[in-house]
Every structure is written in structure tokens, then in C-alpha cells.
Structure 1
Amino acid sequence: MHVSKAKPFQIIYSLYGHEYLGYLIESFVVQKDDHGRLTLQHQNISAKNAPEFAEGLDETDFRLIELMDQIQHDTIVKTFSPKKISTTDFYLKVYDPEKGDKALQERIDAFIETRKSEILPLLRDKMIFEMGNDGEPTWRQVYMSEEKATVLFHFRRNEDNTHYFPTIKYKGEKLDFQYKNAMIVCREPAWMLLGNCLYDFEKNVDGNKLKPFLNKKFITIPRKVEEMYFKKFVAPLVESYDVYAKGFEITCDELQPEPVLMFSEMTDSNGNDGELEFTLCYAYGAFTFEADPQQPVSVAVETVGDSYVFHRIRRKKACEQAVVEKLKTLGLNFGTGNRHRVPRQEGFQWLADHVEALREQGYTIRQQQQDDKRYFLGKSSINLEITENRDWFDIHAIVRFGDFEVAFLKLRNLILQKKREFTLPNGEVAVIPEEWFVRYSELLAFTEEQRNGHVSENLKLQKHHLALIKELEQGNLAQVTISRKLEKLREFEQIEDVPLPQGFNGTLRPYQKAGYNWMLFLNKYRFGGCLADDMGLGKTVQTLALLQQQKEAGVEQASLLVLPTSLIYNWEVEARRFTPELRIFTYIGTSREKDISIFQNYDVILTSYGIARIDIDLLKQYFFNYVILDESQAIKNPSSNIARAVRKFNARNRLILTGTPLENSTMDLWSQISFVNPGLLGNQHFFRHEFLNPIEKKHDEVKTQRLYNIIKPFVLRRHKSQVARELPEKVDHVQYCDMSETQQKIYEESKSYYRNKILDYIEHNGVSQSQLLLLQGLTALRQLANHPRMIDEGYEGDSGKMEDVIYKLESILGENHKVLIFSQFVKHLQILKSRLDKKKIKYAYLDGSTKDRQAQVEKFQENEKLQIFLISLKAGGVGLNLTAADYVFILDPWWNPAIEAQAIDRAHRIGQERKVFTYKFITRDTVEEKILALQHDKRKLASELITTEESFVKSLSKEDIMSILV
């Protein structure tokens, strides 16, 4: 019965029980009579017809209708069925008692419960009814409780068992709900229909905890299982809800947390040591709980004689969060969980660096009990002494692991063989710190053992290694480490070529790729660097490629970019263009939120030099992956406030970008290099005496070369005169086209046909056996997206894409530009030829059957009046030089972007002097758009060379195919 919107009507919401889906809610409009009373005349209202009744609806009604549409039984079938199936067959199959799909049932149930939990609170102040068995939506009116009810769970323990039951109070009075035909309408959180009233509850009670008692007085817990039951079931209840206990005790304990950091070795799939897993817990008195930022209360069950005590402990969240932040600054980031894994050696190095200080601050750090080997966790150190002998240097070194002294000689072979474990006299295993391998491997490789008979006593180093000894003698340990690495880095031109990250949305010119490789080379050795390319050579894009690589390498910490305020927007724009996956956060402005914990939600933080100086005490508390200074000459004065501030940053890596690393004085260089690699050039006094004065005052070329040799691996500078003359700019556009009405109708009919045919074939034969049919379907749909005449020569209608192409083409021709038009379908070119012929527009033409290829090329290149060149992608995508054109149209994109790029390069190549504009025509809401989007999402796929459409089809999963054909 239709309701007239011209007469009074009322929107109502009706509860009804579904055979399989439980309680659902549906929306109706009901006609009113002349007295304003509801009549039996009603109709269902959905998002489709709701606007017709807009005068009687408010915003909440529209939202409710939208949500209710999603949980109707027929909509559930469309949402969860991969293929067309009748509603009846779907439910009989999925909910079959013996062969039903339990996993799908659970997904559907969770989907419906989530929406009901949003719907029910919105029904307050709405007219609600319970539906009659005959489908009458206004059978019985239902009212919402005026306030939330409360639940108290009772436990009564006696000699034989424990009785468990809940009581419910509403407005201070006990609510009699058992054996009263009460129904749990929604479980999470619970909503209960009792009589004609809907009740919700304080503390978001779980409906599953009430449901057993709707028709049962209590549950009996036998003595033999009570301990397990108390710990697994009762303890969580005590944590979250009000509980009354008789026969055992519940205490509320106020205790301070003490951090407990445990670690355990995790083996990889081959049984090899792979990672070290850290688990963060907190000890509250005698009880230890895992870290959980969502848990305000924890409960521990203690057995006392024949009874139990439930210790209800309120967690000190501020204290716990301070621990998390502290560990984060030290490089151990637990995020929102309580476990964090790092590579095994990195984990042991972290322990060696921090365990002693943390224990002094009250942390308990221990190994998990189940581990077989017990590791030493104390302080380790080396005391190195070099004494000159007549013919050599004596190397005396004592290694200390806690109270144990070990001769360095005993570790020599272990370090040289890269064996990392050493058993101490008490049986504990000491892990040799990674830095010892880095710092002393070279020294030990040059040493020889001094022997007294057959017994090795000390190590000796030949005199011709004087330079190495001087470096050890002149510098502190960090300087020695850097010096050792400099020896290995001298031939840094032989840097490994590293592939660009998959998520990098662009290409790098050869010298830019070399810069990217160089930055990763420094990253590998944990050195900072100065990218000092001339302005305009692409420092930004090289750096973005590095940051994208770090993200894809699994780095979790954010990186900080400090730059002049005027450059922030440019970085945002460039990041969106080249690295759209990077999550960018701009930390500027007077209203900025001073909460560094939010940094963990982003990959890159942008801020200005001014903000960095002002907020350094806050920012230095975060351990960044990279701190990068753009236009780093801003810190050229080492005594300036900004230079002092940025040196306080905590970061795993540092990088500076500048076109002018040295503006006024050699000290400019010291300030910037000392930021990225502290200690490399010594302190200011040393640098001034050793380099600045000799170079600037005495023009000492030897000192100049020495300084150059020291900084050479860490500074990369290219002048514009050093790189090849660059091509003019290329501007890429994606031109989205809408299908014509007739075209869209044909397309949708074909899509429906192929979707049903393909998905049915997949269901019976699998994806791998369906590739030929899928390829045929995709090809047909792509041709229809271009022009239906490619499928049906008798088609007399138009094509949205063709009209857009003609319109854009006429505009370009009117401005005297030349254009290359590529299509992979010769039929598409023929249709366009026909349109051009009717308009008497001349063109050059090239496909696989063209005999005079060169003549066509020369005609286009040399004849200024010939402005169009139609080319099939396979015939003309490579091997042509068509620099007369400054526009390129890709009519029907090939799935491999590299093929398109080769086509575009016919115009954008050496010899081109004008800006080149490219237009890629994509028909909206077709397989063209969806497959391109799929390629963008499947990063691995997008990075592979897909040379044929068949190889693309082979890479598609069933889910991919469904998303294309939906």
C-alpha cells in the first residue's frame, strides 16, 4: 500500500526477528488519518525513496534509513555473495546446520551487530514498534528506557560449587527480566527488549553475558573447574563490570607500576635465530600485567588456602605511557601493543647500550624463562692500550663483561670469523656487541699473535700501520670507528645500484639515481650525508625516493624535515606527486598540537627552522629515523641558536640538503658536517687549527686535499654544468571521460554478461583455467569503453571518449600544435580517421600494415600544416623520432606503463625544444579505470615488467577480478 506524501504521514521503525540474522530493524512511513492516528496504510522506506518524504524526515532519519538498508536480508546477500544467487538459496546454503559456512556466518553477524550498535542510540525520540507475525509494522509500540540500566554480577561460592547470575536495576529498582520473554536485540553493547521497553546498560555490558539468564536463574560452576573458570571468566568480569562476591574476596589495590622488559629469541622458518622479541609488562606489587593502553583495570587471582582473592588493580596509565615514551626515545617502539621485534643482533646491541641505565632507573630486564640459553645482560667494555716496541706496536686490551675480565686475544678469532657469542665462566652467553665488529675488525685483521713457545700472549701490529695507530691515538673511540670506515669507503664511487622503491611515483635521471644510491650507501653504514647539488637538480625528489625506500624497508619511526617556511608547501606538493604513500604531517603554526606521540602515525614530519628552535626540548624526545635539514646553510654558524638546537635531535640518520654548503668560511662546512657526522672533523678548536687557518690563511693545498679526502664520502655535489643538458618539461594529464547514455547501456549489459559468465566459470574451474575467457571479456569491455563500433560495426550511436578526443583535438589544432595519437586498437584509429575525413582534417598514419613508414614520419616532421599523426602502439611505439609534436594522446592505455612511456618518448626526446603535454584518456567507471587503480594498489605488480596483457591477467586473483567486474 503506497503512502501519499500529500497527506499526513509518520516515519516509524519496526523490530522484527529474522530466521537467520536475529533481530533486525526496518523503516516505514505510515499514513495518518484525519485525527492524526496511524492507519494500516504503510510502505517501506529506503534510501531510494526517502527523498520523496523529506518533509517528514530529519537528518537522523536519513542516517537511520541508510544504516537499516545495509542490514536488510536481501542486501546482506548482495554484500556477501560473490555471485548472483537467490535470497532463499543463499540463506539455506550458508546457514545449513551441517554444511553451513560458519566463518561467513560470523562475518555477517559481526557486520550486522556493528550497524545495530550505531542504529539503536539514534532511535531515541523516534517512534518504534515491534512487527506483528503478519508483517504489520505497527503491531506493538516500543519505548526506549529513559536512562541506562545497571548490571550487577553475583557469585556465591559454597562447599560444592559456585552459583553465578546477574541482577539488573533500572532507576534504582530491580528489574525482573528472567522468564519474561526478554530478547537481546543487540549484543555489543547489549540492548534488551523487555515487554515494550528497550533497555541499554551502563559500562557497555556484553549481551552474551546476559543471554544465558533470560530463561535460567543461575549457572553452576563445579568445584573441580572453578580455578580455571575464575581466572578465565570471572577475572575479566571483575575488570570491567560490577561484581558482588560471597565466598571469596575482591580487593581494590592502589599500587605503583614498575616496568618489566622481557626478551626472547625468535627463530625463523628454518630454525635459525632471526629476531629478538621484547615484551613490555608492568609489575604492580606481586602481580605482573602485560602493557595494554586500553585496559584501565587489571585483575589478578590469588589462591589463599581454600579460597581466592581477586585483586582489582587500577592501572596508572600516565606512568605506563611515560615508560612507553621513554623506550621510544631509546629506539624501542611498542606503538599500541606490548610486543616489539627487532633483528637479533640489533636487539642485543640495544640491550648492551641501555640495560644498565634502565636498571638504575627501576626497570626489571630479564630473559623469558622458556629460552634455552641464558644471556649475559651486564655492561661490556674494552680498555685498549697501545705501546710502542722496537719493531712493532704492542696491543694490550682487556675486555670486561660485568665482573668478568677476558683477554682480547680470546675474542680475536671470534670477531674475525664474525661469531657473535662467547661463553662466560658462569655459563652465561655474552653477545659481542656489533660495534666491536665494526670498530676492531680491521685492527685485528692487521695484528699478529705474539707467542711465548706455543702460547699466545699478546697482539702486535707492524710499524707500517703507523697511520692507523695515529688515528687511534688522536681520536676518541667514535673517531676511530669513523676512520676505519673511511678506509672501506674510499672507493665510494663503486656504490651498489639499488632499485627505486615500488611506491615511488616517477623516475630519476641518471645523476639523481646515483644520488639516491649514494644516500642508501650512507644509510647502510649509518653515516649522515650532505647532498649539495646545484639548485634545480632535484635534491627534493632524490630525498623523497630515499624516504619512500625507508618506509618500504619497514622503518617505523617518522623522519623529520626541517626547512624554511616558504618551502613547506613545495615539499607537500612534491610528496603527493612522487610519494603519495608517505604519510605527511605538517608541524607548524601557533595552534600546532605539541604531542610528539602523534608522530608515530606518520612517515614524514615537516617543520620550519623557527619551530625547531622553539620546540627543540619537545622534539628531541622523539627518536626519528632521519632528521633532514633543507637549505642547511641555515646552521652554518655553529654558535647560532638554531645550530645548537638541531644538534640536540635524536635520530638514527641525518642528512642535509644545500646548494651552497660553503658560503663565507670553511667553518660553514664544519657546522653542517658536524651535524650529520659528529666528530668527523673534530671539535671546533681542532678544526680551526688543523684546517681552517691553514686553508684560509695559508692557502695550504695539502690541508685542502686532506679535508676533501675526509669529507669526500659524505658530500655529494653536482653542478648543472656537469650533467647533460636536460630535456624540456613534460606535463602528464589523465583525461577522464564519461560514456554516452547509449554507450553506457551497452557497456553495463556486456559487463553483466561477462561478470556472470566469468565468475561462474571461475567457481567451477578456478582462476588459472579462466584466463582466456577473462582476457576475452576484458578486451571486449575495453573496446566498448572506447567506442561500441569496435564491437558492433552497425552501431550508429556516439562515444563519450571519442567526443572528448575530438573536442580536445580541435582546441589543440586551433593553437597550431602538433599531436601524436596512439592506440593499441587499429579499429579505434580507423574510427578516428573516419571522423577526421568528414571534417577534412589531414593526418599522417602508421600501423602494422603501413609500407612507407619513413615517408609518413618525414611528412609529419617537415609539413607544418600536417598537425596529426595517428599511430598504432605496437607499430610506432619505438624507433621513431617525432620531435615536431608537442602533444601526445594515449587513446586506450596499455596496461604496462613502460610501453606508454616509450610511445611518449617519440616526442619527448633529445631534439625536443618545447614543453611536451601528454593526455591519457580513461573512460570513467569502466575496466580501464578499475584496472589502472588495481595496478596502483598492487605495488609489486606495478613494479614488474608486464609485457603482455596475458601476463597481467595471470597475475589477477579472484578478488581482483571481482573488483574489476563489480
Structure 2
Amino acid sequence: MQSSQASGAAIEFVTGLQLEELTTVTLRATGWQGTLERPLEVDVQGWDLTSEAIKTAPIRLTSKRPKVVGFSFPEAVPLLSQPDPNLSSEQSGQGEPASHAEQGSRAVAPGASGKAGPPPKRKRTRIKPPVDLVKLEDRLYFVLQPPLETLAASSELGFPFEPFPYQMDGIAFLFPRETAILADEMGLGKTMQSITTIRMLLLAGQLRNILLVCPKPLVTNWVREFSLWAPEIPVTVIEGDSAKRQFIWGQKGVPVRIANYELLMRDNAFIHDSGQHFDLVVLDEAQRIKNRNSTTAETVRALPRGRSWALTGTPIENSVEDLVNIFEFLAPGYLRTDMPLKTISKATRDHILRRTKDKVLTDMPPKMYRDDQLDLTPAQNDSYRAAEDEGVVQLEDMGETLTIQHVFELVLRLKQICNFDPATGASCKLQRLEADMEEIAASGKKAIVFSQWVETLEKIADPLDRFGPMQYHGRIPSKRRDSVIQQFKEDPSKHLILMSYGAGSVGLNLQFCEYVFLFDRWWNPAIEDQAINRAHRIGAAGAVTVSRMMAAGTIEERIHDVLEQKRELFNQLFADTGVPKQTGLSRDEIFGLFNLAQPHKKHAA
């Protein structure tokens, strides 16, 4: 073979020519210098770009809007315009991204002349192809996507809140991957990142049938987050009796199904009989499958699927075997427990993304709120509905003798049922707290749990004994309280302190705690804020994540909505003066929780 027939030139993109002028492009293998003896027709292949036999999407290298499989460029037409000669390849966005999401990519603003000017300081997050993606056309699909910030600003992808930069990196990580573990520390928004990526992939036509599996207490939270971050996507929850669930599994054209782990195991036959093949299966709290031989692990591994994602803040809880078993769902046989740690680390590097709060502290506010809307357990739900129906009837029958104290008594009774079922002790909140504490303890962090009832704190303590819970409330003698705080601070086995609002809201410094749980809500946000500020103080170790627990569809949601409306109104009027002293519920609002009118108003009518 002649050297003139096999040059070492790579593929060149000539951006200055119109497509019509590029009638033929010759591909040559990079690096060969004519030392191989092969027929010319094998070594050099001519492509006629005007032939109808080519089934690829053309890339028009002009100033017109480029046609890219996936998203349109509503405000980013100049992204493929002529690079300015004064900019380096890295600045002009032509270089290969250096991480999961390229930082610092430059683009000409819409309507600008294209002249060199001060580069924008705002980060541009680009999607980087996975390292195991070898086809040029596949890599181009991801490389040619516009920056995520451009999509977020477009009408096609509107966000209710602007994501943090590290969350954009997480979306860019998930988008191109068939197998992935998003292992961010609790409170960094794994739910939001996965929902947004699912939304983008649905819009791009890459996904049509998604199954999301999570613990039962989290189903409502996932539905709520989908309505917030992807309101146009229909979401179906697998629930109801056997016949209803079988019908839901067999439905066609349902983009997103949400199932809990327990029902998934029960409905295994329905899934396979329906002939469903999921484009993507997402496991939330994926540490549930760390036991390879458990029924849960075997069930999820048998799901027919294309992509597989796992969300967990603790990919390794006890040993590296936990991670290997999660990968049995993602890519069976990819890892073995007898592999050296360095080999496992190298093999999983492109498939796992983990950030901790201290690493992304500059991206985060000092205090983040997470509203956990949880479904009551069946026993709790039965007790709650019976107590509410009976209580409201009794209040209505009291007529003019009804007082605010009577209403308070019903509210308190219902709130206590939302914490624990009086007959069985079942608790949706305890289930969620236990799952979160697994992650917190595994990372060596500490948490505070607040409740208005000492009895509730005592019920929490025994099931969470493995986390070394300490108690700090009115029943603890004053002379012992300082030693409780000291032991909690210094003992690495003590990950949890249980506090009443009254005892823990004033005078304590617990800035070494990064997590605060409000197991039940106080009447006044000012009291809650005082309690939260035990951890969120000057000198705190990092951002504080506040989880406000409430039972969905109950009195707790109604109280929360009223208090948040009052807080928002106050903030609009007095943004710089802090939380008001009196923002609790008024008499009208308390009666309004059950649509009751105050007796004197009835009398006046």
C-alpha cells in the first residue's frame, strides 16, 4: 500500500463550508503510515453525503439552527458558530470535556456579534460521553447537546428553582449512562437530579417506559417531586388490590410507574406476564439489595430492562460486598468480591458519582429544608380516619358549647396517631427516620430529632438503639443534662440525640450536628427555628439539612400549609427582620382545620 494512499490525517470538520460543497468526505485511519498491506478499498472508504443510503442525521455546519437528535437549541444557535481566533480551543468549547460535566465552556450570547469579549463567569455544564462509548456517532450525540444551563433557561425545560451547580453535574453524569450509581450524601437532591434526567431523556425520545422502585414511605414524596420538577410527565403509582395492580402493570403508554419494594416482590408474576420491558429501572435506597440472596435483590435483578440506575447515600455500609451486590443489578458479573480494591475502584470510577456536603459547600445554602410527606401505614390510616370522623361529628354536635380547647384535643389526638398507631405502634415516620439514620451513621455524622412529646421520643429510642440514641428532655434531671450533651458530642458511637422542643430550643450549642429531624411540627415556626438553630450556628461543621416530617393527607399537612403561608407573608413584608414572635395559628385558623365556625359567629348569624 502506498503511503500517499493512507495518510495519517484524522477526520476534519471544515466549519467554513456549506454542506452542499461537501459532496464527499474521505475517512482515513489515524496513525497508520502505509506499513500495512491491505487492499485499497478496505483501507479507504468513501462516503457520499448526498446518497439516500446514508441513514444519519446531517450536521449542517452553517449559522442556521443545527439539527441534533434530542433537543432543539431555542436560545443557543450561536453555539456552533465560527470560533473566535483569539480564543483557545478550550475557551471556544471545541475541546473535549475534562470531567463528567465540563466547566467553563464559552458560548456567544444570543444576538451578540460574536466579537471577542470578557468570557462569561457563569458555569456551563456539558454532558460528557461515558468512557466505554466508542462509536463516533454515539459520542457526538452527547458532545453536541447544548449546556444544561441553556436547556434550563428554555421554555422546553423550565425549573421551579434554579438547580445548584453540583446538581447540574449530577444530571450530566446520569444522562448518558446505561448503568450508574448516584451516591450523593443525604440532603443533596438525588431525587431532583434523577427526575430531571428522566425528564430530559423522555423529551429526547430515549425513554418511554420507566419503573422507579422505592421504600413504601417514600412513594408519596416521589410523586410530589415529579409534580414539582416534571409536571408534564404522567406518573402512575402501583397500588390497590391484586386486580388493580395487574391492570396497571399491563397498561401501555404509561411513561413512569412507581412501585414499593414489597409490592414489587408480590407482583413479580404480573410484571413478567404483562410482557413489559422497561427502558429504565431506578432503585431508590438501593442498599436494600446489598444482600445478594434476598428475595428483594433477586426480584429486581429479574426485571427486564435497558438502563439501570441506583440511588443510595451508602453504597458501602459494611463491606465492599455491598457495592458488588448493587452492581449485580446494574451489570451482572461485572464485579467480584475477590477482586482487589484498586481494581474495583478503577472499574467503577466511571459509573459512580458521590458528593458530600463539605465538598459542595460553596454551592449550598447554610440551611436546607426537606419536607417529607409520608403515607400512613395501613394501621395508622385506619386509626386516623376513625378518630377524625368520630371527632368531627362530636365537635359539630357540641353547638354553642364548643370551645377551642375541644378542637385542640382532637388536633393533638390526630397528631399523635400520625407519629405512632396507638394499637400496633406502627409508624411511617419511624420507618423513614430509621432509613435516614442508616446513612447518617454510616458516614459518621450526627443528628437531632425533635418532638413535642416525651412519649414519642421514648418510642423512637428502642427501635433505633443501634445508633446510640441519647435523650434530652424535661424528664432528664438538670444535673445530668450537661453530661448527656458531652457524651453525645465525644462518643463516636452516639449518632442520635432525641430532644423535646421545650428542653432543646434554648441555650444549647450542637453545631457538630449536620442533620435535624422535626418528627412532628410545633404550632409556631419561631419555636421550630430556635430548635433548628441549635445545630445551625456560627462554627457549624457544614450545611444543616432539616427534614420536616408530616403524614400526607392529614391534619399535619393542613397545619403546615397555614404556617408556611403566614411565614411567606411575613417574609414578603419584613424580609430583613427575622421570624416574628407570633406566627402560630389563630383561633379562626384552628377551627378552620376542620371547617368549623366559631360558636359566637354562629350566634351572631
The interval holding the TM-score normalised by the smaller chain is 0.3 to 0.5
TM-score by length of 1: 0.25
**Higher RCO, 1 or 2 (CA under 8 Å, sep at least 6)?**
2
Q: Which structure carries more strand by proportion?
A: 1
